[in-house]
Amino acid sequence: MPGTTVVDNAALLRRHGMHVTAPRLAVLRTVSDRPHGTADDIHRLVLAAIGTVSRQAVYDALTALTDKGILRRIQPAGSSARYENRVGDNHHHLICRTCGRMVDVDCAVGDTPCLTAADDSGYAIDEAEVVYWGRCPRCVAATSQKPTRQKPTSHQQKTARQETDQRVRPR
Ligand SMILES: [Zn+2]
Ligand SMILES: [Zn+2]
């Protein structure tokens, strides 16, 4: 697991000029323990951890922490935003189409022509967001056990489809 060193989240907040609040600390701890959760997942876990916290407080904390670059927000097509604390390395994600489970993949290396825009239209590109869609081993195993199986469509036959979405963040 990445990030096994003890992180002083209070110091982290102060270093970014943020007030240290119970919801922010609880959100940071939750996201580092259970990365790639949605805001609702995180709210549920934070509630269990600290008792009372409003949904709005969790949403506000997530927004503030993401704005400061302490958390990263991933917004897969057709899914709620997910949050993680592994920031700054521009790693990619695998997402299961069936159950929605998301895992990290290290940055693509080697021959990766899709990461270089053919025409940057004058944009100063600082990020290429890559999501590999497919089905996780658990979901593949669950389907292959069923005796009557629907004929897969052409793109379900592939275990993963790479979708590249190059976006430029406004400064
Ligand atoms: Zn799955
Ligand atoms: Zn990740």
| Average pLDDT, integer, range 154-162 | 41
- 70 and 95, same domain (yes or no): no
CA–CA–CA angle 85, 15, 30 (5° rounding): 30
Residue 67 lies in a domain: yes
DSSP 152: P
168 pLDDT above the threshold of 60: no
Ligand in closest contact with the CA of 138? 1
Residue 98 lies in a domain: yes
Answer whether 24's CB lies under 8 Å from 18's CB.
Answer: yes
**Pure H helices in 8-54:** 9-15, 22-33, 39-50
Q: How many domains does the chain have?
A: 2
Task: Give SS3 for 128.
Answer: coil
Higher pLDDT, 44 or 88: 44
**Rounded CA separation 61/45 (Å):** 14
Near ion ligand 1, which residues have CB within 5 Å?
Answer: 96, 98-99, 136, 139
**Rounded CA separation 95/100 (Å):** 6
Q: Range of 18's domain?
A: 9-74
Q: How far is the CA of 148 from the centre of ligand 2 (A)?
A: 35
Q: How far is the CA of 60 from the centre of ligand 1 (A)?
A: 30
- 17 and 69, same domain (yes or no): yes
Residue 83 lies in a domain: no
Q: How far is the CA of 83 from the centre of ligand 2 (A)?
A: 8
Higher pLDDT, 115 or 95: 95
Residue 101 lies in a domain: yes
52 pLDDT above the threshold of 70: yes
Residue 4 lies in a domain: no
What end-to-end distance do the CA atoms of the chain give, in Å?
A: 32
7 pLDDT above the threshold of 70: no
- 56 and 120, same domain (yes or no): no
